[in-house]
Amino acid sequence: MERQDAQQEAARDADVVVCRGLGRTYSDDGVPVNALADVDFSVSRGEFVSLAGPSGSGKSTLLNLIGGLDSASSGTVTIDGVDLGALDETRRSDLRLNKIGFVFQSYNLIPVLSARENVEFIMQLQGVPAAERRRRALDILTALGIGDLADRRPGELSGGQQQRVAVARAIVTNPVLLLADEPSANLDSKSTQELLELLRQVNAQHGVTIVTATHDPIVMAFASRRVQLRDGRIVSDERADAAVH
């Protein structure tokens, strides 16, 4: 029993994300372009990490590889102990469904569904019973301050409200990892501040590991760790208490 407890404790403490020798090469009219080159990168459980850099630096490519939305040309990506390269597309989709929450800059909400139904959608794919889906969706929307908007469709919500629905959908299944691609891109400064406070709350109170890709210095300032990329390579990796403000 003690050995089993020790193994479970070790699993909880293990890195959620491990990338080793990671590379991604695209073809541009027959010319190879290295979007990422030989990247070694890991994220510990409970961290809040920002991947920063200018357009074309490789931050979104790295985020997509971590999320299993794209495949590496070389190297490996391990999520919560599972090697993505060893999975077929069905098993990779299952891992995304059950372990990873996504927040996209375009929200990716389904326009014909209400806010509650959008939040329920992932749980429906997981086979969660209807009554349980509804309860959990309303609970999370209320916790995020938009419970009174549960029956409105995305077109009836502001950008900040849509982003909150997207966050609710991403975290309602209790993922081990939350990935956010340019989460402040379509928000004003007030909505950005509210969203980041929300992400920090999710990280601190629920222990959700968060990785964002951003070029927004406000987003970078909220992260506990800032990783800078340039030309497909990591050029700096700083903890918040060591970063220059």
Mean pLDDT by 10 residues, the chain (245 residues): 44 80 88 90 95 91 94 95 94 93 88 97 94 95 91 93 91 92 82 85 87 90 93 92 45
Predicted local confidence at residue 105, as pLDDT: 78
For residues 114 and 199, give the distance between their C-alpha atoms in angstroms, rounded to a whole number: 22
Predicted local confidence at residue 165, as pLDDT: 93
Predicted local confidence at residue 163, as pLDDT: 86
Cβ(214)–Cβ(199) below 8 Å: no
Predicted local confidence at residue 241, as pLDDT: 61
> Does residue 16 sit in helix, strand or coil?
strand
Tokens of 31: 């010319």
For residues 242 and 149, give the distance between their C-alpha atoms in angstroms, rounded to a whole number: 41
Per domain, the residue ranges of the chain are 45-69+85-242
Predicted local confidence at residue 244, as pLDDT: 39
Terminal alpha carbon distance of the chain = 47
For residues 91 and 103, give the distance between their C-alpha atoms in angstroms, rounded to a whole number: 21
The residues that bridge with 176 in the sheet, in sequence order, are none
Which residues 6+ apart lie within 8 Å of 185 measured at CB?
A: 105, 216
**Using one digit for the tens of pLDDT, what is the confidence trace for 19-30?**
999 999 988 877
Burial 50-60 (b: 16+ CB within 10 A, else e): bbbbeeebbbb
For residues 15 and 8, give the distance between their C-alpha atoms in angstroms, rounded to a whole number: 13
What fold characterizes domain 45-69+85-242? Rossmann fold (3.40.50)
Predicted local confidence at residue 9, as pLDDT: 45
Provide the whole-model pTM: 0.86
Residue in the block written with tokens 């985020």: 63
Predicted local confidence at residue 22, as pLDDT: 96
